[in-house]
Structure 1
Amino acid sequence: MDLKLNLLVLRCRDIEVSRLFYEQLGIEFQKEKHGSGPEHYAVVFDDTVFELYPLKEDEPVDRSRLGFAVNLDTDLRESLGDAGIAIISEYEVDHEPVFVVEDPDGRKVEVRQSEQLGTGWLEGDWARFRAIVLILAAIAGSLSFLNYQSEPLNDSPVLDAYFFYFAFLVSFLFWPVMVVAVVGFQTINPYSDPVWTRPTHSCNPFRLKNPLQVVHFLMYFVMAQGAGAILTAILGGWLQLLMGIGMIIGGLEGLWALELVMKRYPEKMALQDDVEISGNTSQD
């Protein structure tokens, strides 16, 4: 028997809201009306008709579970976050993530990338890009001994030495405050995303609409430079060692400050804080 599914119809409380949800997955609907029937939306892909119909009064919503393989140009997790779609669970199939979300009617919808994103920098492999940049930052930090003098700071003028100690102490105290202030200001920036995604190593670190991603990457960049400086402190002397330790502490303080931001502005993280990571495919 040669059997193939060629029609799928969903009954929706509000087909306009449902249409917007499924269009975020790359589906482009056309409005249709057959005779005296209700207006609805339809699309055909791979010889299968997918339709959204209005739910009749007092008709219960079904408990169907859908699955889509989508081919997006950006990281799938980031795309869902940008669209304001909360991931309620996730699992892996063939080492590829499958994200479970809910449509406006409460149906579980599984979404996965239909094709493996490219491994080049421009194809979305931000994890590899970040790793390379951080390695370069560590190398740059390791060469910083060329600028630092190994002579004791006590040989410098007294005022210069005190100023150095004071600036070093202030940087430790001010660093978290600066991160919270700068990122917190973006909560009222109209060009910022209405909802931010939690920072990860696989997302675009230069997407200014999500300041958490930018600051997250910068903190690791600073720590990579500090690690490189510490590795070659034997050449640069104690001052380079001190600077390297300071950069690592500053980076860790910045990451801690990001956690403060996410707790201080929970309304910006509401959708993402509902994410539950699971390793199974619960069919509830």
Structure 2
Amino acid sequence: MYAALDEHANTEIAASVWTADTSAAMARASVPTPPTHGAPVSPTATATARIALMVLYTDHLEESREFYTALGLPFVREQHGSGPVHYSTTLPDGMVIELYPATAKRPASSARLGFTVDGQTLTPPLASGRHVVKDPDGRMIELYAA
């Protein structure tokens, strides 16, 4: 069981393991635009770079794979040569997210991530809007549910 945190109400919401009807629901989901957190955004500004790879080091590899898979990120097991077993998924825009076991040189680190999800396909369903949950390593994960 994961604890979901609603930062606006400062209350904990009991949540069982998230499950999702993955890519089909995500593809047709009409989701709210994530907030800019007060940063001014120029309507004419165009980014020329994009994130191509994000590696999350975790002390809870299998639990993290289950958590993120339930949000609609279908991870596959990989191992390159004698390297560690890890998991990888590719987003529709080509960005790759990988989950690696943490080590002394690469500990589980804090990061704040946000994902758009179809809240009605999760168990329990999420109402439309912004929700904050914690992954198995305690990272805050923002979910923007349609």
Same fold (TM over 0.5): yes
CA contact (8 A) 2:58 2:107 kept: no
1:110–1:54 distance in 2 versus 1, CA, 3 Å: same
Q: How far apart are 1:37 and its partner, in Å?
A: 1.2
Counterpart of 1:111 in structure 2 is: 143
Letter in 1 for 2:73: I
1:70–1:105 distance in 2 versus 1, CA, 3 Å: same
Letter in 2 for 1:6: A
SS of equivalent residue, structure 1 residue 36:
coil
1:51 aligns with 2:128: no
- Identity among equivalent positions (%) equals 42
Counterpart of 2:62 in structure 1 is: 16
Counterpart of 2:132 in structure 1 is: 100
Letter in 2 for 1:9: V
SS of equivalent residue, structure 1 residue 109:
strand
1:10–1:112 distance in 2 versus 1, CA, 3 Å: same
Q: Deviations over 1:246-272 (max 9, x none)?
A: xxxxxxxxxxxxxxxxxxxxxxxxxxx
CA contact (8 A) 1:66 1:108 kept: yes
Aligned residues: 98
Counterpart of 1:258 in structure 2 is: none
| Higher Cα Rg, which structure | 1
CA contact (8 A) 1:76 1:112 kept: no
Partners of 2:80 and 2:105 in 1: CA distance? 23
1:36–1:68 distance in 2 versus 1, CA, 3 Å: same
CA contact (8 A) 1:19 1:41 kept: yes
Partners of 1:6 and 1:59 in 2: CA distance? 20
SS of equivalent residue, structure 1 residue 101:
strand
Q: How far apart are 1:23 and its partner, in Å?
A: 1.4
TM norm structure 1: 0.32
Q: Quick one: which of 70, 81, 87 aligns to 2:117?
A: 70
TM norm structure 2: 0.60
Runs (4 or more) in structure 1 with deviation over 4 Å come to none
Q: Deviations over 1:225-251 (max 9, x none)?
A: xxxxxxxxxxxxxxxxxxxxxxxxxxx
Which runs of no fewer than 5 residues in structure 1 stay unpaired? 81-95, 117-284
Q: How far apart are 1:68 and its partner, in Å?
A: 0.5
Counterpart of 2:13 in structure 1 is: none
Letter in 2 for 1:110: E
RMSD of equivalent CA atoms: 2.2
SS of equivalent residue, structure 1 residue 35:
coil
Letter in 1 for 2:102: L
Q: Which protein has the bigger strand share? A: 2
Superposed counterparts of 1:135-150, under 5 Å: none
Q: How far apart are 1:42 and its partner, in Å?
A: 0.2
1:61 aligns with 2:108: yes
